[in-house]
Amino acid sequence: MSDLNQSHPRNRDSLDVSVIIVSYNTREMTLACIDSVFRETQRLTFEVIVVDNASEDGSAQAIGKEFRQVRLIASAKNLGFAAANNLAAREAQGAYILLLNPDTVVLNGAIDRLVDFAEKHPEAAIFGGRSLFGDGSLNPTSCWRAPSAWGLTCRALGLSGLAKSSSLLNYDSYGGWARDTVRPVDIVSGCFLLIRRDLWETLQGFDEMFHMYAEDWDLCLRAHKLGAKCMLCPDAEIIHLGGASETVRSDKIVRLFSSQAALYRKHWGYLQARILVGLLHIWAVRACLTGYVSAIFKKDKATNGARIWREVWTRRKEWAGSSRKGSGA
């Protein structure tokens, strides 16, 4: 680990990349993530900035003790994912900003590879890599298509899950593509997202209307409107466990649906947004009914799933919200 990587230079663009990690009650995962960044990043000058969102598990103290070279911002309150990243980005010194989830592990020089890929592709401005689950299998959530009525219909009716390898029925998730080729994509997941800092500043970072979830979708959609492209680099691989900071599944789904509904209202007209939010209602009802039917045969696991989706349905006013279009950014 070089002295340069351990320093906090003041000149902007004096480093190749600023790695930003936002943690919330993920102490051991965050420590493993930071360790993998320093272990696997050898060719770049970089800094690591961690914003701890008022964790109650001793995350901030552990990070400060184990990694003194990290720039740690210990927030007294949970700022949310978007605001915390924006806070860190204002302190960043790198020509690139890399957003990295705390429940990830960097593999085989992935950050080096991703920045090198970005340098070779000046036609794009946002870049993602290939995500794997802990067992080494593909985690397809590294990128998505932009929301559409067709894609959401397939997900709402459960067709995407039944035909994961179908590019038609698993449309939103680029079904059938193993993320093993270079390809332009609509949305790069914020779990491992590299962006040129000049574009980040032009976009003014994340829209803090999105407390958690969909802020990365919104960022990429706004970038597309400016003519900026997103690309995926298959040689930059990470492990992404997913959902580590959200322990109650119904809460996660409610937050996710709420953010998706806000995204639809912000980027689409009144009628299309109403249709897309209506499809979220269909998704919740279908999942609830499927859970109850499955419970007849599978008992406990399926019954728990039915209960989760029933709670999501009963809390629909929280995530469906107003039908008005949100403000742009």
pLDDT digits (tens, 9 = 90+) for 228-263: 999 999 999 999 987 655 556 889 999 999 999 999
Tokens found for residue 203: 């976009």
pLDDT digits (tens, 9 = 90+) for 173-197: 999 999 999 999 999 999 999 999 9
Contact (CB, 8 A) for 108 and 121: no
Dist. CA 280–CA 153, nearest whole Å: 9
Backbone angles phi, psi at 309, to 5 degrees: -70, -30
Mean per-residue pLDDT for 43-51?
Answer: 97
pLDDT over 90 percentage in the chain:
82
End-to-end C-alpha distance for the chain, whole angstroms: 39
Tokens 């019954």 found at:
303
**All residues at 6 or more sequence positions from 317 whose CB lies less than 8 Å from its CB, including other chains:** none
CA distances, 94 to each of 16, 49, 89, 108 (Å):
5, 11, 9, 21
Domains parsed from the chain with CATH numbers:
3-147+176-240 (3.90.550.10), 249-319 (no CATH)
Q: In this model, does residue 4 exceed pLDDT 80?
A: no
pLDDT digits (tens, 9 = 90+) for 77-103: 999 999 999 999 999 999 999 999 999
Q: Which of 107, 44, 143, 136 is CA-nearest to residue 235?
A: 107
Mean per-residue pLDDT for 293-304?
Answer: 67
Give the helix ranges, DSSP H, for the chain.
Answer: 3-6, 27-40, 59-66, 81-91, 110-120, 149-156, 159-162, 197-203, 215-225, 249-267, 270-298, 300-314, 316-320
Characterise 33 by phi-psi region: left (phi > 0), alpha (psi -120 to 50), beta (else).
alpha
pLDDT reported for residue 233 = 98
Tokens 């919200």 found at:
321
**All residues at 6 or more sequence positions from 264 whose CB lies less than 8 Å from its CB, including other chains:** 147, 272, 273, 276, 277
pLDDT reported for residue 246 = 55
pLDDT digits (tens, 9 = 90+) for 70-79: 999 999 999 9
DSSP run (H or E) holding 329 = none
Contact (CB, 8 A) for 233 and 114: yes
Dist. CA 262–CA 266, nearest whole Å: 6
Tokens found for residue 139: 């985690």
DSSP state of 176: T
DSSP state of 140: G
Contact (CB, 8 A) for 279 and 260: no
Q: In this model, does residue 10 exceed pLDDT 80?
A: no
Tokens found for residue 64: 């400060």
Q: Which of 85, 91, 15 is CA-nearest to residue 46?
A: 15
pLDDT digits (tens, 9 = 90+) for 143-177: 999 999 999 999 999 999 999 999 999 999 999 99
Q: How many CB atoms lie within 10 A of CB 206?
A: 25
pLDDT digits (tens, 9 = 90+) for 29-45: 999 999 999 999 999 99
pLDDT digits (tens, 9 = 90+) for 214-231: 999 999 999 999 999 999
DSSP string covering 78-110, please?
---HHHHHHHHHHH--EEEEEEE-TTEEE-TTH
Q: In this model, does residue 67 exceed pLDDT 50?
A: yes
pLDDT over 70 percentage in the chain:
89
Q: In this model, does residue 274 exceed pLDDT 80?
A: yes
pLDDT digits (tens, 9 = 90+) for 104-156: 999 999 999 999 999 999 999 999 999 999 999 999 999 999 999 999 999 99
pLDDT reported for residue 219 = 98
